[in-house]
A = this chain, B = another copy of it.
Amino acid sequence: MRIAVEFVDIIEFLGTFAFAISGIRLASAKKFDLFGAFVIGFVTAIGGGTLRDLFIDVTPFWMENPIYLWATLMALLFVSIFHHQLIRLNNTFFLFDSIGLGLFVVAGVEKTLSLGYAPWVAVIMGTITGSVGGILRDVLINEIPLFFRKEIYALACVIGGIVFTLLQAAETNRIVTELTTAATVILIRTLAVRFQWHLPLLKGDTDRH
């Protein structure tokens, strides 16, 4: 158990690092200064969990452990030093990012259920944990959030959250539940990107209401 927790800590650090890198790279493309890039990276990494914690009324997780600041600082150093090599590492970042997403969903669903909220609330909180950081990043750099038009990103969170609540309802072993959920999110996201799965666009009118 202790080993599993430590393993999760390492993965969480890597997930935070990967999320922060995605924010910092976009910030650098927008000519932000170092501090601005740091803030965008941090918000990308912790934004989702922060909104979740405000909704479930607990202290935002990053206020209790400075590791998320350190992970963001390392991401900033990494982008500054290796900026010529970053494009070649895109597949590695995608892997970290997907693993981070899987872990964030697990963390969000588990924390919400442990506080006694209904399973459907936990599924929403898992999805918020995984996707709101990227939405805030895009709002702050003044772009329409990719989230709303992108490959099955949030749907992977929703399906992962449903898998978690079903497995827990069936009294599955906790580690198995966590790993299966994370694997589901990672698999759906990876397949969606590889095979360019898209949700259908909404057929609507163009009249501004």
**Partner-B contacts on A (CB < 8 A):** 21-22, 24-37, 39-40, 50, 54-55, 57, 59-60, 63, 66, 69, 76, 79-80, 83-84, 86-87, 90, 93, 97, 117-118, 120-121, 124, 135, 139-145, 147-149, 154-155, 198-209
Provide the residues of chain B in CB contact with A209, threshold 8 Å.
21-22, 25-26, 90, 93, 97
Determine how close the nearest CB of chain B comes to the CB of A83; give it in whole angstroms: 5
Q: A60 near B55 (CB under 8 angstroms)?
A: yes
CB distance from A85 to the nearest CB of B (A): 9
Asked if residues A203 and B36 are in contact (CB atoms below 8 Å), the reply is no
Residue on B nearest A198 in the bound complex, by CB:
B33
- Find A25's partner among B29, B34, B205 (CB 8 Å cutoff): B205
CA distance A59 to B28 in the complex (A): 36
A202 to B204, CA, bound (A): 36
- Pick 17 A–B contacts, CB within 8 A, sort by A: A24-B202, A33-B149, A35-B199, A36-B148, A37-B148, A37-B202, A50-B55, A57-B59, A76-B202, A79-B204, A86-B207, A87-B207, A90-B207, A97-B209, A139-B140, A140-B144, A142-B142
A61 to B74, CA, bound (A): 35
Residue among A25, A34, A204 with the highest chain B CB neighbour number at 10 A: A204
Which B residues touch A200, using CB under 8 A? 33-34
